[in-house]
Chains A and B, each alone.
Chain A
């Protein structure tokens, strides 16, 4: 197994393209190293993207935030402005692993590992985030929601990498939230996750919303019916009940060691409703 740490995305992509065997990208390494230890993968090439400058920083301008692909979760949490504008994205990623893991784990890895239960993904999808994807033929923008295609499956080619994410500019009275259900209080994997992103007008009426579930299907589920219930409402009891019902209906979980399908369907609604309440109170604040 070969390990390289290029300093440009172009060099990283060239190395991916040149590899005949199994090439893998390494950002924080919190998934790939565990899989290596467990003998689940045996890559021929590991390409570490942490030394690529374009992957290292969080920046903000008029068009919104750009988050480098190698930025660890701890750095998201320490970024006061990002935490204020996109608290749901920061708190989702902040639930992954332990304090030590937080110093390494990235949104990119969480997305590309493509676990249906990824805590970092629903809020990114709800935010309408896009990924800057670098490949042999240059750069393209891809919606985050188009990246995971199934458990462990993503739409990127083997010779492509994510360099950064872009979050859109934020209208006033907007906020987001992510809540997950686990049987413990930390160090666990979501049994159900729900992200809500919404914008209110001056009268407190919801004018934009997106509700996304995690861990209740092969990949995240965007629940349009829940968003529609919020839009035009004051995020009142009737709207919240509609969100709950819509999310329970939309969830397509399986029964496994982490919970029964029946439980997950029910809890998807409960958690989505709670996420909507939090996002709403943040937007009002």
Chain B
């Protein structure tokens, strides 16, 4: 039975979230809520310079302070396992600090106050070096170099050594395509770095025994990766470190790597005590993993009929102080919504004296989509074409060769565009100083390494054990899929996120993978339980296993002795399981394949104050293909959340660096994420074109919704104020200056 025609009993309902009551009553335990007896408090000393050589570190006064139990520097870390050198260097600086906020030393003390005092007693001698934080400056041949000798062979000549990687994608011949165009538009776009802005700061508590076996409790999106990275940085065996994830107050990609965790482990090792560390907001902004900042050259050709004849993009992504591949994930999806004969994208990875970037929801895609969709919108204006029709004319379909290589399976872009066109928002009248922006966006989605176990308990209830911290409602969705498969009520299933000692490896909650991949593994685990029950009942009934079927939550005998055996439901099976060979469990381990791509279409209405350049978002609608929405509330929440974060990126969020290379806005006062009163209610439309790679048709939905908003808002603001916006964020001073320009 195909997913489309299947009648679901549990899936698709708006059922109660299992973590809701705990979160609103305060019973849920977040990272900072985890304590241990005799626990010490850790604190990190951070670089006040953007780039400097560390000449000496004198920790003696700090060590002598009463209550200080350990002081560490890089000298206390072992040689890391191969491949973890950069991670270690980012967690604790070696002979150079590479950005403002880079960790230099750390202490563990009997109180937070003493730890703070001790930090002030550490004397560091720096030799300040020239720095560079801006992407455009960093690529100039005479720019200060962050690391020498990292430049890959494919990087074109003419840049500084900060341009370290080069990638290119596409097909056809763009020059031929541009010649066929009636209009060709070339623009340079810029975006500033943003932060995920998760409300819960990083927090971690760890202890290590004299045998070097350790336990850690941490706020993370992926405790298996935390374990692997800590083991790599601390040169340990993975098995000797058991990591438990706390509840999580947001991550958005920023909590898929380590910052304080190896430092806490090193402090626990040196002090012989449990050590806890909680970052301040200032530390989070200065020294975790923000996004890239970018400079993007885009060229698009279009004919009078609205057909795109060629597209080209050259993307420079500033990725912080270490080599990253984020730019590839801008170059690949930039033009993915379109069926193109001629497309070329190039990505250049640029290092600077900024914190090492981390993932943020569809990492790399939002800036590239902003540039591509802005250029297309401007061409629509130039040629007098309807931006919706142009997107429909050019939309990629199942079977289209994508802009980054592979051929698409069936997906819902056309259906999203049709739904957008039919939505009342698209036809609603606009008032003076208002403009409407449209943008389409794409994300790959991902499956990856997944291990799940499902247990039938003695009373017939079901425990699902999985290894992915629940950020977007995955425990509810996974319980629902298992309940659906077993034919039992949702309330009979509880899904638990377990520690690294209880399951095989799981990739983090990233890549919009969990409802898809963990759901898939949970369904297969449930099927293993069903098969085990059928086999055992066939033995008990002394019948052929093929005559025992699982239907509507019970085993039925369907052979020629029908009527002889009463059906047995799950609770009845559990009751006799012990006599039939013992406990029943199912498990599934795999690299989940077949994560379906997801497209979204966003419509934004903005009003620009002509006297101040202030933009208000008047109306916003998200239309996205979810494949199959398991729990629609959560899907809508993802669509709204992605839109809101994208609106923040478009309008006011930015990393502001001073001439000294230091971050100037280290708090939520001046790092301006949107507040509730800044936003209209975000309207959502879920389109369901099933993913053939999932039994219920699920596509990941978490990342796609942050891809189009930068472009949708930019197109809306450009149309509202009559000046094309090419520089994010579109803060009032910038928009006003553009309007005052002749």
Contact of B733 among A38, A185, A188, A259 (CB under 8 A): A259
A 116-132 contacts with B by CB, 8 A = none
**A38: B residues at CB distance < 8 A:** 282
**Which listed segment binds B: A53-61, A62-70, A162-170, A262-270?**
A262-270
**B612: A residues at CB distance < 8 A:** 181, 267, 270-271
Q: A212 on the interface (CB 8 Å rule)? A: no
Q: B737 on the interface (CB 8 Å rule)? A: yes
Q: B614 on the interface (CB 8 Å rule)? A: yes
**A188: B residues at CB distance < 8 A:** 669, 672
Interface centre among B612, B664, B674, B675 (most CB of A within 10 A): B612
Is there an interface contact between A189 and B669, defined as CB atoms closer than 8 Å?
yes
How close is B265's CB to chain A, nearest CB, in angstroms? 26
**B674: A residues at CB distance < 8 A:** 184
Binding site for A on B (CB under 8 A): 116, 282, 611-614, 616, 651-652, 656, 664-665, 669-670, 672, 674-675, 677-678, 731-733, 736-737
Is there an interface contact between A184 and B652, defined as CB atoms closer than 8 Å?
yes
Is there an interface contact between A263 and B675, defined as CB atoms closer than 8 Å?
no
Binding site for B on A (CB under 8 A): 38-39, 181, 183-189, 191, 256-260, 262-263, 266-267, 270-271
**B652: A residues at CB distance < 8 A:** 183-184
Docked CA distance A176–B606 (Å): 31
**A257: B residues at CB distance < 8 A:** 656, 664-665, 670
A-B pairs with lowest CB-CB distance, top 4: A263-B733, A185-B677, A257-B656, A270-B611
Is there an interface contact between A263 and B732, defined as CB atoms closer than 8 Å?
yes
Cross-chain pairs A/B with CB under 8 angstroms, 29 sampled: A39-B116, A181-B612, A181-B614, A183-B614, A183-B652, A183-B731, A184-B675, A184-B678, A186-B675, A186-B677, A187-B669, A187-B675, A188-B669, A188-B672, A189-B670, A191-B732, A256-B664, A257-B656, A257-B665, A260-B737, A262-B737, A263-B613, A263-B733, A263-B736, A263-B737, A266-B736, A267-B612, A270-B612, A271-B612
How close is A211's CB to chain B, nearest CB, in angstroms? 18
Docked CA distance A38–B613 (Å): 33
Given contacts A184-B677, A259-B733, A267-B732, 14 further A-B contacts (CB under 8 A): A39-B116, A183-B652, A184-B672, A186-B675, A187-B669, A188-B672, A189-B669, A257-B656, A260-B733, A260-B737, A263-B732, A263-B736, A267-B611, A270-B611
How close is B109's CB to chain A, nearest CB, in angstroms? 15
Is there an interface contact between A258 and B732, defined as CB atoms closer than 8 Å?
no
Q: Which residue of A lies closest to B281 (CB)?
A: A38
**B651: A residues at CB distance < 8 A:** 183
Interface centre among A38, A183, A256, A259 (most CB of B within 10 A): A183
Interface centre among B116, B651, B656, B736 (most CB of A within 10 A): B736
Interface centre among B651, B656, B669 (most CB of A within 10 A): B669
Docked CA distance A267–B669 (Å): 20
Secondary structure class of chain B's binding surface, majority of residues: loop
Docked CA distance A146–B483 (Å): 71
Q: Which residue of B lies closest to A186 (CB)?
A: B677
**A267: B residues at CB distance < 8 A:** 611-612, 732, 736
How close is A42's CB to chain B, nearest CB, in angstroms? 10
Q: Which residue of B lies closest to A189 (CB)?
A: B669
Is there an interface contact between B732 and A183, defined as CB atoms closer than 8 Å?
yes
Docked CA distance A185–B676 (Å): 9
Docked CA distance A191–B672 (Å): 13
**A181: B residues at CB distance < 8 A:** 612, 614, 732
Docked CA distance A274–B209 (Å): 67
How close is B213's CB to chain A, nearest CB, in angstroms? 36
Q: Which residue of B lies closest to A244 (CB)?
A: B611
Given contacts A184-B675, A267-B612, contact A258 B670 (CB under 8 A): yes
**A262: B residues at CB distance < 8 A:** 733, 737
Interface centre among B664, B674, B675 (most CB of A within 10 A): B675
**A183: B residues at CB distance < 8 A:** 614, 651-652, 672, 731-732
Q: Which residue of B lies closest to A255 (CB)?
A: B733
**B678: A residues at CB distance < 8 A:** 184-185
How close is A84's CB to chain B, nearest CB, in angstroms? 25
**B669: A residues at CB distance < 8 A:** 187-189
**A271: B residues at CB distance < 8 A:** 612
**A270: B residues at CB distance < 8 A:** 611-612
Interface centre among B675, B732, B733 (most CB of A within 10 A): B733
Docked CA distance A267–B612 (Å): 6
How close is B663's CB to chain A, nearest CB, in angstroms? 10
Q: Which residue of A lies closest to B667 (CB)?
A: A38
Docked CA distance A191–B614 (Å): 12
**B672: A residues at CB distance < 8 A:** 183-184, 188
Docked CA distance A88–B680 (Å): 28
How close is B55's CB to chain A, nearest CB, in angstroms? 26
Docked CA distance A189–B670 (Å): 8
Docked CA distance A184–B561 (Å): 73
Docked CA distance A259–B670 (Å): 11
Q: Which residue of B lies closest to A273 (CB)?
A: B611
Is there an interface contact between B732 and A185, defined as CB atoms closer than 8 Å?
no
How close is B737's CB to chain A, nearest CB, in angstroms? 7
**A186: B residues at CB distance < 8 A:** 675, 677
Docked CA distance A187–B665 (Å): 15
Docked CA distance A107–B669 (Å): 20
Q: Which residue of B lies closest to A270 (CB)?
A: B611
**B116: A residues at CB distance < 8 A:** 39
How close is A8's CB to chain B, nearest CB, in angstroms? 32
Is there an interface contact between B675 and A185, defined as CB atoms closer than 8 Å?
yes
Docked CA distance A259–B664 (Å): 13
**A266: B residues at CB distance < 8 A:** 736
Docked CA distance A38–B670 (Å): 15
Docked CA distance A39–B46 (Å): 15
Docked CA distance A38–B282 (Å): 9
